[in-house]
């Protein structure tokens, strides 16, 4: 099954992608994680992407499309995959079509902007392995320390309040039109992002079957 998770930054796409991945046994492809890893290692891709990412802007379509094209060609994607954070523009959605990719379901996680702002202020990421935590919903066992690798947890630069507003603006202007694109194909399902992660997961899994 090939699945897309759409939604504003902080809507819970990464968290729900993990749940679906465990349920269906297919990998998650997060373009944000791929790009952050490239920035961490200082690769040419990372150097190209860093400034846009720090400012909360989208990385150019051709750069991200290249990342996804290479990743979905890998062996573990043969049975399907979950795209988290891609496509974020109609041009990216068209690029998937041009690659011959047939998407089975697009889950749109709906969360109000005010909730997003509150949620993102509590998000922390591991500077070592990139694992994601939240002070209210998914706290680490030891404050400020990653459960998985023991490195420090930090606030993502693009989660700082001024940048969050920019990212929400980008989402409304550039990513929301992607909903209509998939609605016209009959594969879009809208799910309210609930306060409790498990409640949202139940709705997401149901929407995958509907």
Which residues are annotated as catalytic? 13, 88, 123, 156, 167
> Are β-strands 153-154 and 123-126 bridged in parallel, bridged antiparallel, or unpaired?
antiparallel
> Are β-strands 28-30 and 2-7 bridged in parallel, bridged antiparallel, or unpaired?
unpaired
Interface ranges with ligand AMP (CB under 6 A):
9, 31-32, 35, 52-53, 56-59, 64, 85-86, 88, 92, 158, 167
> Minimum distance between the CB of residue 83 and ligand AMP, rounded to whole angstroms?
9
Task: Using alpha carbons, list the distances in angstroms from residue 111 to 114, 118, 194.
Answer: 8, 11, 8
Nearer to ligand AMP, 179 or 202 (CB): 179
| Residue 160 near residue 150, CB atoms below 8 Å | no
* In the block, residue with structure tokens 């109000």: 112
| Residue 16 near residue 107, CB atoms below 8 Å | yes
Nearer to ligand AMP, 177 or 206 (CB): 177
CA angle 86, 92, 94 (to 5 degrees): 125
> Minimum distance between the CB of residue 125 and ligand AMP, rounded to whole angstroms?
9
What is the maximum span of the chain, computed from C-alpha positions, in angstroms? 47
Nearer to ligand AMP, 97 or 142 (CB): 97
* In the block, residue with structure tokens 């890998």: 74
> Minimum distance between the CB of residue 174 and ligand AMP, rounded to whole angstroms?
9
| Residue 65 near residue 76, CB atoms below 8 Å | no
> Minimum distance between the CB of residue 177 and ligand AMP, rounded to whole angstroms?
14
Nearer to ligand AMP, 44 or 141 (CB): 44
> Minimum distance between the CB of residue 70 and ligand AMP, rounded to whole angstroms?
14
Nearest-angstrom CA–CA distance, 166 and 45: 23
Q: How far apart are the first and last CA of the chain?
A: 14
Nearer to ligand AMP, 63 or 202 (CB): 63
């Amino acid at each position: 099954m090939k699945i897309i998770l759409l939604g504003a930054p902080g809507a819970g796409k990464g968290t729900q992608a993990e749940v679906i991945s465990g349920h269906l046994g297919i990998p998650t492809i997060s373009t944000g994680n791929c790009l952050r890893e490239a920035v961490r290692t200082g690769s040419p891709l990372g150097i190209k992407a860093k400034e846009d990412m720090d400012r909360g802007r989208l990385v150019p379509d051709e750069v991200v499309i290249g990342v996804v094209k290479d990743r979905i060609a890998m062996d573990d994607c043969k049975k399907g995959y979950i795209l988290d954070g891609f496509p974020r523009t109609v041009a990216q959605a068209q690029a998937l079509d041009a690659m011959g990719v047939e998407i089975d379901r697009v889950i749109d996680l709906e969360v109000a902007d005010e909730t997003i702002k509150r949620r993102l202020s509590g998000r922390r990421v591991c500077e070592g392995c990139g694992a994601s935590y939240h002070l209210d919903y998914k706290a680490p066992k030891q404050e400020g320390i990653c459960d998985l690798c023991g490195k420090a947890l930090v606030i993502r630069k693009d989660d700082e309040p001024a940048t969050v507003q920019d990212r929400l603006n980008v989402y409304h202007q550039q990513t929301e039109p992607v909903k209509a694109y998939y609605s016209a194909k009959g594969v879009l399902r809208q799910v309210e992002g609930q306060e409790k992660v498990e409640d949202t997961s139940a709705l997401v899994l149901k929407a995958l079957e509907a």
